[in-house]
Chains A and B, each alone.
Chain A
Amino acid sequence: MSDVTQVPEARVLPAPRSAASTIRYWPWFAALLISAVLPWLFYDWQHARHAGFVVSVLSQTGMMIIFALSFNMLMGQAGLLSFCHSVLFGLAGYSTVHFLNAAGAGELPVPMELVPLLAGLAGLGFAIVFGYVATKQRSTAFAMITLGIVQLVTTAATMFHHFFGGEGGIQTDRMIGRSLFGLEYAHSIEVYYLIVAWMMIAAIGMYFHTNTPLGRMANACRDNHERAQFVGYDPRMVRFVQFALSGFYAGIAGGLFAITYEIVTFDAVAAPLAANALLMAYIGGATTFFGPVLGAILITLMQSGVSLMSNSWLVYVGVLFIAMVTFAPAGLTGIVLEHAPIARAGLLRRLVLPYARGLLPGLIVLLGFVGMVELLSFLTIGQAQGKRFVLFGSTIDVHGVMPWLISLVFLVGGGVWLRREAIAFKRVWDGLTDIARQGDAPMGESG
């Protein structure tokens, strides 16, 4: 059995090596600017207040970005598939609740702005404990141990009342009355800016980590741990330190979670959250640094949007995931990066038509599939909940033949059409990559 957790051709892009120039760091400034401005785009000027839902989704996105990036320190960078990342997140969250309670009682003189740092240190501590056990192994065995850890901690969290608060979790009040900038943290927008600040700090920290000797050794141990051993490094130590550091960043995310929601329950340590991190990192693209950011934004938005509308959210996630694994193992950023050679050759324009031709059948297949799933779902789950299937203002009879027939025709017919277009697209694509490759080749080669 070879390296199970190896991402094929995984290359976490190294940070630019040249002198710090403003142009090179424009994505960071752009990210900061966008995250600072975004809540104001939804500001309700008439009532002079922020849109609560938007700020809450943005806050959630911010902490999930940290979480997904820290997860990718293990998966993308070190080739370690961890299912207990939620444990580090959640335990740091629990700790933060205790920190905040202590601070509120005046026992812990820490300003609010530094509480996430404490949470990170808590995450680091827990990561050292669990990492000691888990990083004894690598690849599959590592993944399985982390599965054991997540189950252990989740069950423990529901059982013990000290520290965890049992099934109900523990609560706190974030208005501890101590701040570096005199802020109260009474409004969620203040918490949002705290999250943005820590998100930037954590992301920059993790980005520069990819460039440190340790970050490079993590890549080396991922790609060929035996060879790394021959060179004189201890792969286990590399895994351990990498695990501990990623626990630090996951802890920051967990601390921000506790500050935002003021309650932490066993859900914060449970496996579904770790699975979420995996989805974000993988769908966004584990092979690039910014992939998980994209994935975190996408998944959080979809979760806040689609899961409210549909009972079948998990089916769509599953199908999307399987489709990504099958057709685009490098994630969304991987798809974008594959266009780079063609774009360099200036041939991107020739792809517009094939893409446009695939758009319609793709939409039809999507419509047919969603139709089938929703009909099925409304037949059983929806009925139990007393819901009715309403589309474009008219109720659809899920027991009738017509809706099923239409969905089926859309699914099958669109599928056949899409397949034809896909074959045609592949021909164009292969031709273009050939041309691009010839353009890239050295001049003397052909002669």
Chain B
Amino acid sequence: MQVGLISLLDGLVYGMLLFMLASGLTLILSMMGVLNFAHASIYMLGAYFAYQIDQWVGFWPALVIAPVLCGAIGAAIEVWGLRRVHHNGHIAELLFTFGLVFIIGRGVQMTWGMLPMPYRVPASLDFPLFTLYGENFPAYRGFMLLVSAGMLLATWLLLKKTRIGLIIQASLTHPGMVSALGHDVPLVFTTVFAGGSFLAGLAGVIAGNYLTTESAMADAMGPIVFVVVIFGGLGSLAGCFIASILMGMVQTFSVVIDYSFADVVKPLGVTIASNDLLGEILTIPVSRIGPLVPYALLILILVLRPRGLMGTRET
């Protein structure tokens, strides 16, 4: 039980983190049709920027400056990069961001080196928030939860309750009409791209010291975020949210479950030997194949429901 509660909170923290990344990605994808491969790279940049600013002036300024920098980079990518290749079609835009992944990934290694950065939790947040069944819940995780929930609320309010949000939502489905009504749709695109990059950068700032700030962090996060986006369904923020929390839970719980499929059917009198590939798959404990579970879930949902959890359209 105690494992369950702490894992639940950890899963929630991780899920919210995923959502901060995935929400930007899904907005960019459904609005501009650009599958932004560099999204996780910007998340990584956020963490490295935060480390650097943390070294110079401290964590709290970094919390603001690093995401803003990431947002500016996002805007620059949109204005000087994507817009130039836009007339070559969506594949060109996708491939453009694909090239950026190489450059940012190697550029980060060239600037900060190959080793993980000693980016640490600020001292003012480095204490146990409460103790549950003898296990500590660090205050920093509570802070992460707070920041991501606050960001989620702000984004939701912005999209649903303001005029800007209204225009963004309209541009999502009817860019031509919005443009005809006199709104600057390219500017809306830039705003969304910058906003998504801002969120990704913020996620990097708060996750960089919770996980590890290293050059492999983009490659570790990227595929999971893609899984979340397609699992939730294209063009649906609500589906994206559910998928994020679900994936967060799956990732944390699969680490602590020590049973395999064979253990589940054992009471039924079925024994499975692990002397071939199928047997191995069925007898391996879930805790050892944790990283596999999200992808298996993705394939499963695509077979059962091709448009994803709450997707509004086919592609």
Contacts and interface: CB of A to CB of B under 8 A. Distances in A.
Contact of B295 (A141, A148, A317): A148
A145 B96 CA distance: 20
A80 to B, nearest CB: 10
Contacts of A379: 110
Nearest to A132: B303
A160 interface: yes
A173 to B, nearest CB: 22
Interface in A141-199: 141-145, 147-149, 151-152, 155-156, 159-164
A322 B85 CA distance: 10
Given A159-B288, A315-B106, A144 B85 contact: no
A275 interface: yes
Contacts of B315: 1, 4, 137-142
Contact of B298 (A5, A148, A319, A321): A148
B90 interface: yes
Contacts of A8: 88-89, 92
A218 B25 CA distance: 30
B197 to A, nearest CB: 17
Nearest to B107: A315
B229 interface: yes
Interface string B81-121: 10011001111101110111111011101111111000000
Nearest to B108: A380
Given A149-B299, A159-B289, A319-B103, A376 B227 contact: no
Q: Say which size band chain A's interface belongs to.
A: 35 or more
Given A6-B89, A160-B281, A325-B92, A148 B99 contact: no
Contacts of A156: 292
Interface in B275-294: 275-277, 279-281, 284, 288-289, 291-292
A294 interface: no
A133 B303 contact: yes
A155 B35 contact: no
Contact of A4 (B33, B85, B291, B298): B33
Tell me what chain A mostly uses at the interface: helix, strand, loop, or mixed.
Answer: helix
A172 B153 CA distance: 57
B110 A381 contact: yes
A4 B110 contact: no
B110 A159 contact: no
B99 A318 contact: yes
Contacts of B289: 155, 159
Contacts of B99: 317-319, 321-322, 325
A377 interface: yes
A426 interface: no
B237 interface: no
Interface string A409-440: 00000000000000000000000000000000
B296 interface: yes
B35 A321 contact: no
A147 B289 CA distance: 19
Contact of A152 (B96, B113, B230, B295): B295
A152 B292 contact: yes
A162 B276 contact: yes
B306 interface: yes
B91 A4 contact: yes
B260 interface: no
A137 B226 CA distance: 16
A152 B84 CA distance: 34
B205 interface: no
B72 interface: no
Contacts of B306: 136-137, 141
A367 interface: no
Contacts of A160: 277, 280-281, 284
A226 to B, nearest CB: 12
A3 interface: yes
Nearest to A380: B113
A105 interface: no
B223 interface: yes
A249 interface: no
B110 A325 contact: no
A325 B88 contact: yes
A318 B102 contact: yes
Contact of A147 (B109, B223, B296): B223
B169 interface: no
B176 to A, nearest CB: 12
Contact of A321 (B33, B88, B98, B279): B98
A321 B95 contact: yes
Contacts of B33: 1-2, 4, 140
Given A160-B277, A384-B115, A373 B110 contact: yes
Given A315-B103, A329-B92, A140 B35 contact: yes
B314 A137 contact: yes
Contacts of A161: 280
* Residue from A6, A148, A149 with most neighbouring chain B CB atoms (10 Å): A148
Interface in A1-27: 1-8
Nearest to A3: B90
* Residue from B102, B114, B289, B298 with most neighbouring chain A CB atoms (10 Å): B102
Interface string A249-291: 0000000000000000000000000010010001000000000
Given A151-B295, A156-B292, A133 B88 contact: no
A325 B102 contact: no
Given A4-B91, A380-B111, A144 B35 contact: yes
* Residue from B29, B91, B296 with most neighbouring chain A CB atoms (10 Å): B91
Contacts of A4: 33, 35, 89-91, 94, 315
Nearest to A161: B280
Contacts of A136: 302, 306
A312 interface: yes
B229 A380 contact: no
Given A314-B102, A325-B96, A329-B92, 17 more contacts: A3-B89, A133-B302, A139-B90, A139-B315, A148-B298, A148-B299, A151-B227, A152-B296, A162-B275, A318-B101, A318-B103, A321-B98, A325-B95, A373-B110, A380-B109, A380-B112, A381-B109
5 contacts: A140-B29, A140-B234, A140-B315, A148-B223, A319-B99
